[in-house]
Amino acid sequence: MNVPDNLRYSTDHEWIRSDGDRVRVGITDYAQDALGDVVFVELPAEGATVAAGGTLGEVESTKSVSEIYAPVGGEVVAVNRALSDAPEQVNQDPYGEGWICEILPSDPSAVDGLLDAEAYRQLTAG
Amino acid sequence: MNEASADSGNSSVPELGHSLRQTPLFDAHRGLGAKLVGFGGWEMPLAYPGGTLAEHRACRTEAVAFDVSHLGTVRVSGTDGFDRLQAALSNDLRRVGPGRAQYTHLLSEDDGSVVDDIIVWWVSDDVFDVMPNASNTARVVDAIGGEDTTETRAIIAVQGPMARSRLGTILPGAAAVPRFGVAGFEWEGVPCLVAGTGYTGEDGVECAVPADTAESLWAAILGTGVQPAGLGARDTLRLEAALPLHGHELGPGITPLQAGLGWVIGWDKPAFRGRDALLAEKNAGPRRLLVGLATEGRQPPREGSPVTKGSKIVGTVTSGNFSPMLEHGIALALVDTTAGVSPETTLAIEQRGRAMTATVVKTPFVRAGQWAIGN
């Protein structure tokens, strides 16, 4: 499984990339592989306020539905509308074109409490 | 991210550990990098690395091969075989003959509901291979007798518009079996059986091959350019074709009449299991019927979701998913006959607090080939 060194991770299999004030959020390679072919993504509303651990949206594959949880609390400032017509991007490019949304964290230091790549590799090993 | 509810119609009960049975092709699946899943007591390929959607499209446009060895085989032979099957099963074997296959049901004596749906391969005058669903084999042996030969063979389904032409490059005889025909062929000098049957809505055949010889036939079929496909694609394909899956559209409490499969009933037979209960339902009219529903968006409808008309619950989704060919949601649902629905009636599917508009449509949803169960 691909676990890029420059990202942070949640125990619920989201990845987080810091980009200035905001963070970009998606689901990990491990998560997309476990889901199988993604056919539908329910995106959060732009402008919505989410609590850390709150529901951001849903990812549905041909075999199951999974919730996406907010790794950090804050305001949703952007969503990846391209997934409405091309949800397969979540499988094909989970850390790139398959991103889910961007959040302006209410507590910028919250990102520091997330897993680093090595810790996430250990979580998903075996 | 966390799994909120995982049900595909494929593996409604998680089955883990080492108690699962493995088919003669298990090592081949692992070698191909298949994702494996417990289903009906067997450890089966869910999908190969290309994924369910690619496998689905390959079956609609070219050809794929499934390992369906998890289906049971019960060999019934002897001069009384015909009579035993006629007494136990709903369909009438007099409609066919030796060298033909027939879709049929084993019904409950009590309420006429479907204990199992079955394909019978009428191999020769006094020899029948009765093929139930994986987990129902013991019930079928109880009802009919015969010998459970499941362990002795593998079954490879080759399906798709190019199934026969590709199989024909190595096995021209097997590839020429008529639709719903049954014939013998040889692979590496070993006698095998083939039937012109399947579960995808496409043309194709199913080959029963002795366990020891199965891996070489599987490899040879893949060598003709046929791609392997798993249970995930098998489920989306059969749903587009509106073919029923036991435990969903058929099962305890669901009769063939409710499922729209009245043609599976041999009413001309004086007696068969469940006939009295089914006749009573026929005379009164079934209280609910299976309908096809199409939604507008990509979100898959899911089994168990209520179906509403206005503010009233009128039914339940029995199977639902994203249709890879139509690129929107499709579902089968049992709907109360009193609700008065017909094609183009607008209903809704309630799912996780939201309502999806769903239009009643004629099935099959996809008729890529003209093939569906029937004979």
Nearest CA in chain B to A31: B1
Subunit contact A58:B4, Cβ cutoff 8 A = yes
Token output for A61: 């594959």
CA dihedral B250, B253, B259, B262 (to 10 degrees): 110
Task: Clarify whether residues B226 and B325 are in a common domain.
Answer: no
- For residue B186, tell me if it sits in a domain: yes
Subunit contact A67:B322, Cβ cutoff 8 A = no
- For residue B275, tell me if it sits in a domain: no
Domain final position from B180, B206, B240:
B240
Within 10 angstroms of residue B263's Cβ, the number of other Cβ atoms is 13
Task: Clarify whether residues B50 and B176 are in a common domain.
Answer: yes
Task: List, for residues B168-212, the tens digit of each pLDDT value.
Answer: 999 999 999 999 999 999 999 999 999 999 999 999 999 999 999
Token output for B238: 């059969």
A39 or B40, higher pLDDT: A39
How many structural domains are present in chain A?
A: 1
Cβ–Cβ contact A53 with B under 8 A = no
pLDDT confidence of residue B374: 39
**Cβ(B264)–Cβ(B104) below 8 Å:** yes
- For residue B52, tell me if it sits in a domain: yes
- For residue A61, tell me if it sits in a domain: yes
pLDDT confidence of residue B373: 40
CATH number at residue A47: 2.40.50.100
Subunit contact B52:A67, Cβ cutoff 8 A = no
Token output for B355: 């309502």
Longest dimension (CA), chain A: 39
Token output for B70: 């998890």
Task: Clarify whether residues B193 and B57 are in a common domain.
Answer: yes
Contacts of residue A109, Cβ cutoff 8 Å, sequence gap at least 6:
none
- For residue B220, tell me if it sits in a domain: yes
Average pLDDT of every residue of chain A: 96
- For residue B280, tell me if it sits in a domain: no
Q: Which of A90-99, B10-19, B46-55, B227-236 has the lowest mean pLDDT?
A: B10-19
Phi, then psi, of A66 in degrees rounded to 5? -130, 145
Task: Clarify whether residues B292 and B361 are in a common domain.
Answer: yes
Q: CB-CB: which of B1, B236, B302 is closest to A31?
A: B1
pLDDT confidence of residue B168: 98
Distance between first and last Cα of chain B: 47
Q: Which domain holds residue A50?
A: 8-125
Task: Clarify whether residues B58 and B169 are in a common domain.
Answer: yes
Taking the C-alpha atoms of residue B351 and residue B186, their distance in angstroms, rounded to an integer, is 51
Distance from CA of A21 to the nearest CA of B (A): 23
Q: Against a cut of 0.90, is the pTM above it?
A: yes
**Chain centre distance of CA B324:** 18
What ipTM was predicted for this assembly?
A: 0.93
Token output for A67: 């919730």
Task: Clarify whether residues B61 and B170 are in a common domain.
Answer: yes
- For residue A93, tell me if it sits in a domain: yes
Subunit contact A88:B47, Cβ cutoff 8 A = no
Taking the C-alpha atoms of residue B373 and residue B371, their distance in angstroms, rounded to an integer, is 7
Average pLDDT of every residue of chain B: 93
Subunit contact B298:A40, Cβ cutoff 8 A = yes
- For residue A3, tell me if it sits in a domain: no
Task: Clarify whether residues B235 and B296 are in a common domain.
Answer: no
Q: Hey, what amino acid is at B188?
A: E
Task: Clarify whether residues B236 and B291 are in a common domain.
Answer: no
Token output for B177: 């079996």
Distance from CA of A62 to the nearest CA of B (A): 6
CATH number at residue B362: 2.40.30.110
Task: List, for residues B126-158, the tens digit of each pLDDT value.
Answer: 999 999 998 899 999 999 999 999 999 999 999
CATH number at residue B49: 3.30.1360.120
Within 10 angstroms of residue B247's Cβ, the number of other Cβ atoms is 21
**Cβ(B99)–Cβ(B183) below 8 Å:** yes
Q: Which residues of A touch B52 (CB under 8 A)?
A: 36-37, 62-63
**Cβ(B174)–Cβ(B167) below 8 Å:** yes
Task: List, for residues A21-71, the tens digit of each pLDDT value.
Answer: 999 999 999 999 999 999 999 999 999 999 999 999 999 999 999 999 999
Task: Clarify whether residues B234 and B373 are in a common domain.
Answer: no
pLDDT confidence of residue B7: 38
Q: What is the mean pLDDT of residues A75-90?
A: 98
- For residue B26, tell me if it sits in a domain: yes
Task: Clarify whether residues B174 and B320 are in a common domain.
Answer: no
- Best mutation site among A39, A89, A91 for testing chain B: the one with the most B CBs within 10 Å? A39
How many structural domains are present in chain B?
A: 2
Q: Which domain holds residue B308?
A: 287-375
Q: Which among B67, B366, B88, B108 is positioned nearest to B230, based on CA atoms? A: B67
- For residue B22, tell me if it sits in a domain: yes
pLDDT confidence of residue B372: 41
pLDDT confidence of residue B14: 47
pLDDT confidence of residue B6: 37
* pLDDT tops 80 at residue A117: yes
3-state secondary structure of B31: helix
Task: List, for residues B82-112, the tens digit of each pLDDT value.
Answer: 999 999 999 999 999 999 999 999 999 999 9
- For residue B195, tell me if it sits in a domain: yes
Subunit contact B6:A63, Cβ cutoff 8 A = yes
- For residue A112, tell me if it sits in a domain: yes
- For residue A51, tell me if it sits in a domain: yes
